[in-house]
A and B are shown apart, each in its own frame.
Chain A
Amino acid sequence: MLKNLCKKAFAKSIWVYHCNTGACNGCDIEILNILTPFYDVERFGIKLVASPRHADAMLISGAVTRPTLPLVKRAYDAIPDPKLVFAIGSCATGGGAWFDTYNVTGGADKVIPVNYYIPGCPPRPESILYGVALALGLVEKEVAPVELKQMEFPIDMYERNEAWEKRNVIYELVK
């Protein structure tokens, strides 16, 4: 549903506003990297703008620290509707290694509604491109929650007494 809405709302070029909320500059360098000729994100019409009032999407990097918290909210409010928010890097998605520190909010989604998460520390430029392409509806989503279980059920209820006896034989041998 979000994808269809994105296709309608952002039919033309998306202009992005990059918001550093206390990142270590690793994610920022990767964001600037996708604007270089090698990754050339302007193929999709994406352009970096300096003011949030010109932007359609917001790229957030860094766990939102306490001093930047009101500024992030103001920047988000300044973007005209409809707007997309990308959380880039582990810090913006879940808080990174500082998710429960005293002066960190712990992820951008606790401050403003986030549409797409791009994990990685820092994410590869391809990873950011993939996230943007996912928002534009060019690629399919690859990840899904994984649930692993041991198939053999080892608590053998029927053979339990027998196992106890065998175990006791071994203990007598140890003696």
Chain B
Amino acid sequence: MWLTSKIKQVLMVMKPGVVTLNYPEQPAPAPKNFRGAPVWDHHKCIGCGGCSDHCPSRCILTRDVCQELRVMLYDGSRCTYCGRCADICPEDAITMSNSFQMACENKEDITTRLELFMMTCQRCGRCYEMENTNSIDRIDLKGFRYDNLEQRAMIRKTTENFSLEVLAETEHYERPSK
């Protein structure tokens, strides 16, 4: 009786065969909808900082080194791979790649540093118009890339209700002295 049960067991085990994945010897690519490490395209990026606004773990940092140079730092050590940066990016500069083999000895190995040349607003001297006080409206903003000729022409006209008369009146405005 015990022999028949053992034979039955052997047959049951033989039916599925070997299921073990021979992983480190043979590659095992991730499925297509897998969100791996985000990859930046620095040709497309306009440096709007939307990704750093929306990162839940605040792992994308925006640093303005000087007036015309913006540095975006991605610290992959605390990234949760949620893909919100890729969703929010207006220019589709961020794509979630398929790579997952990111084990490392040093945390610096999973960082990305992006240096962008920015153009500043001729009126306020900032990289962006900040006159829209509504933070929801600010999401729609696009930065002013220096080589973008269309926006270069319109760069001074920062808001819809901007009028040249008001600018001419207030350009040399000074606070009244006593």
Which of A's residues lie within 8 Å of B, judged by CB? 2, 37-40, 43, 90-91, 93-97, 99, 107, 109, 115-121, 123-124, 126-127, 129-131, 133-134, 138-139, 141-150, 152-155, 167, 170-171, 174-175
Select from chain A the residue with minimum beta-carbon distance to B41: A148
From A118, A138, A152, A174, give the contact of B102 (CB < 8 A): A118
From A93, A115, A138, A174, give the contact of B78 (CB < 8 A): A93
Known pairs A139-B24, A149-B115, A150-B115; A96 contacts B80 (CB<8 A): yes
Task: Check B109–A141 contact: CB distance below 8 A.
Answer: yes
Q: How many A-B residue pairs have CB under 8 A?
A: 152
Task: Check B80–A117 contact: CB distance below 8 A.
Answer: no
Known pairs A39-B23, A154-B147, A155-B117; A175 contacts B107 (CB<8 A): no
| Number of B interface residues in the complex (CB < 8 A) | 52
B-side contacts of A97, CB under 8 Å: 56-57, 78, 80
From B30, B43, B79, B156, give the contact of A119 (CB < 8 A): B79
Interface contacts beyond A39-B20, A143-B101: sample of 20 additional A-B pairs, CB < 8 Å, sorted by A: A2-B105, A38-B19, A40-B20, A90-B78, A90-B79, A91-B78, A93-B107, A107-B77, A117-B110, A119-B103, A131-B103, A133-B24, A139-B101, A141-B104, A145-B108, A146-B111, A147-B113, A148-B40, A154-B147, A171-B156
